[in-house]
Chains A and B, each alone.
Chain A
Amino acid sequence: MNLIHSNSPCQRVRPLLDSYVSNELLIETNHDILRHVGDCPQCRTALQEIEGTRIAVRRAVRSIHPPADLRERICASLTPREAAWTGSLRPRLAAPHVMSRWMAVAAALTAVVLSVGILRNLTLHRNSTGLLHVGWMDHKECVQAGHLPARPPTREQAVTRLASHSGLLGVVEAEMPGYVLRQAHECTVAGRKYIHLAMAKGGHIVSVSLVRKNPGERLPAPKSATIEGVEVFGFDSGDYLGFVMGEVSKDLPGLATKLTPRIQQVMQTL
């Protein structure tokens, strides 16, 4: 195509300038355009404006930098273990490549069984969700009901109160930078004893609770659910159930993902 042979070359060239800047035209067309803009100040200005926009937007967007720990968080979320959450925003996806065809068939069968309402499976489901309520009750009673102390305990007081469970404090402090201790105590809610830490950052309070398992209680895979505006992440290890809870926020799933393996290590020592 020879653009310059047109009776009105500007009218032919202008619509092609965007594609010229994007390097989407044939070489011959590029040459035609270059020849034309060399002779035509109006088209040259139009071309410079498009190129100027392109350069400026590229420079501006490339000035955006991701958070330093994003790569680390992505890598952490890819592990099969941490991808086992259900019901939360980020860490819930299982690593599918490890799922064999037979596992997929088994999963499909399970879905069918659930869909026809086999009582046993439905009971198991209720139990998992029910266990998350066990953690939620502690957060509700100690945090949401306004029972946090006006003066938070000192670290020494917290260590004394937690006694043999004080290892939990070190883990929570290490994994929750920027949070301050608001509560550390043993409490009893609905007849069950909890080891409860409440950490605050701004107005957001996150609870970490441990409670001894009752017979038959288990969370073989971490679970999460939102109960009355509180996102509850539950897991187990050894003789204990563990929970990380707080009002729904974007940071909480990542925080729970980081805390879970560390808290499980502490739970195994209790």
Chain B
Amino acid sequence: MPKVVPAESRRNEFEAAALPHMDDLFRTASAMVSNRTQAEDLVQETYLEAWKSFHRFETGTNCRAWLFKILIHRVHHYRRKWYQVFSKNESEDLIVDNIKYEAPIPEDVKDEDLLTALGRMPAMFREIVLLADVQEFAYKEIAKMLDIPVGTVMSRLSRGRKHLREELLAVAPAFAREGQKA
């Protein structure tokens, strides 16, 4: 017979395990959809969904990766809903063909320029860069979250980093000058 856990105790357990990751979830959502209000909704939906299935969560396993996986699904759902045209037109090969050259990142590049450049990146590369470079998930964890092979994570991350540098050329004038010198 399953052990009965009082609702309040279960809720406290959920809050202790899940809420410390809220800032990182919000940052990732915000950078993924480039919209703070939508990011708030996505994070709230993530927590509600996590709460809904918390009875299936095993204490001691990676709560952070579990929450990010839910968030990624919510973001994908959001994109499917609002950006169907975008996803149809976006081909990984086409994007890679358009990457011209690798330019250096100056130390004084502004955060807002970087976020703008990030927002201009194709979504499939942006999410990998966020998960690997900002949230520092291992390739295996990212592969599991996105349901793609580890090799695809590696190639998308490499292309994503190059793409970010390329996008920075368009949004940061100081960076563009630096890039042209190189």
CB within 8 Å of B: which residues of A?
A: 15, 18-19, 22, 24, 45-46, 48-50, 52-54, 56-67, 70-71, 73-75, 77-78, 80, 83, 89-90, 93, 95-98, 250
> With A50-B161, A58-B134, A90-B45 known to touch, is A67 a contact of B40 (CB < 8 Å)?
yes
Q: By the criterion CB–CB under 8 Å, are A83 and B48 in contact?
A: yes
- Cβ contact within 8 Å between A22 and B19: no
Contact with A along B64-101 (1 / 0, CB 8 A): 00000000000000000000000000000000000000
CA distance A74 to B52 in the complex (A): 13
B23–A65 CB distance below 8 A: yes
Is B115 located at the chain interface by the 8 A CB criterion? yes
Q: List 16 A-B contacts (CB under 8 A).
A: A24-B154, A49-B165, A53-B164, A53-B165, A57-B114, A57-B129, A59-B114, A60-B111, A65-B23, A66-B22, A66-B40, A67-B40, A70-B40, A95-B51, A96-B53, A97-B55
Q: Which residues of A contact B43 (CB under 8 A)?
A: 66, 70, 74
B144 smallest CB distance to A (angstroms): 15
* A contact residues around B51 at 8 Å (CB): 78, 93, 95-97
User: Which of B26, B107, B133, B157 has the most CB atoms of chain A within a 10 A radius of its CB?
Assistant: B133
Q: In the complex, what residues of B have CB within 8 A of residue A66's CB?
A: 22-23, 26-27, 40, 43
Other A-B contacts than A74-B47, A96-B51, 9 sampled, CB-CB below 8 A, are A15-B158, A48-B104, A53-B161, A56-B109, A57-B134, A58-B133, A74-B22, A80-B7, A90-B45
Bitwise, B1-16 to A at CB < 8 A (1) or not (0) is 0000001001100110
CB distance from A233 to the nearest CB of B (A): 17
Residues of A within 8 A of B115 (CB): 60-61, 64
A61/B157 contact (C-beta < 8 A), A24-B139, A45-B104 known: no
Q: Specify which of B40, B54, B157 lies most central, judged by the most chain A CB atoms within 10 Å of its CB.
A: B40
B17 sits at the interface (CB 8 A):
no
The residue on A at minimum CB distance from B161 is: A53
CA distance A95 to B104 in the complex (A): 50
Query: Do B134 and A97 touch across chains, with their CB atoms under 8 A apart?
Result: no
